[in-house]
Amino acid sequence: MRRPPDLTSLFDVLFIVVFAALIRAAAVENAAAHAAEPTPARNAPAAPAVPPAVAQLRQRALADLDAELAARPPLVVRITRDGTLDALEVGDRRIAIAVPLLEPSANPDVVVAYRGDQLADLRICRIAARQLGNAELSRYLVIMAPALPLEDLPHALYVGLHRDVDRCLSEQRGLAVLVDPLTLAAPAAAPASPPRVVP
């Protein structure tokens, strides 16, 4: 009579094979996970242990702003004594225009009003963008240059120009600044020639 096969040893062998396969699969999965992780660069600078000081951050931010502003070509807007946008200057181009920025006011308490407060098409940066054929002025540094010191401008023009500085960014994405002629340095005088010494 034939003896039945030993099932216990078959189960043992099967268990060992399955267990070895599971261990091998776990090792492959672990190796794949480690391969996907980025290896830290050996020469990467270590993160600073102490947060940078406010003065350092300010200095870095100002340097970045200076670099950004220096990269923008200037767009100069010339404004006459009577409040007329007289010309635009970009590079070596001068575009002569004559757009009055002030008008008589319907309000008896106000002599003149700033036209750009009523009509968006009469705002400095909108006029400049239209003259240049651009929808926006994001690549320019818009410099508003009135002929008179700011303190001598009519109140409506003074306030309107300041509003247009803000509106330039929101409406034409241009960075604008209003330059007071009093803040400009006078051209340096030619050095005096030394007195002649006669022997």
- pLDDT band for position 67 (cuts 50, 70, 90): confident
Nearest CA to 180 out of 198, 199, 165, 195 is that of: 165
Cα(180)–Cα(5) distance, integer angstroms: 106
pTM, two decimals, is 0.65
User: Cβ(161)–Cβ(144) under 8 Å?
Assistant: yes
Query: In the predicted model, what is the mean pLDDT of residues 63-84?
Result: 90
pLDDT over threshold 90, residue 113: yes
Domains within the chain, CATH numbers bracketed: 75-182 (3.30.420)
Nearest CA to 114 out of 79, 155, 170, 144 is that of: 155
DSSP letters along 19-59, please?
A: HHHHHHHHHHHHHHHHHHSPPPPTTPPPPPSSPPPHHHHHH
User: Cβ(131)–Cβ(88) under 8 Å?
Assistant: yes
Query: In the predicted model, what is the mean pLDDT of residues 147-167?
Result: 95
> Which has the minimum average pLDDT: 67-71, 154-158, 165-169, 195-199?
195-199
Count of residues making up the chain: 199
pLDDT over threshold 80, residue 86: yes
Task: Supply the pLDDT for residue 198.
Answer: 47
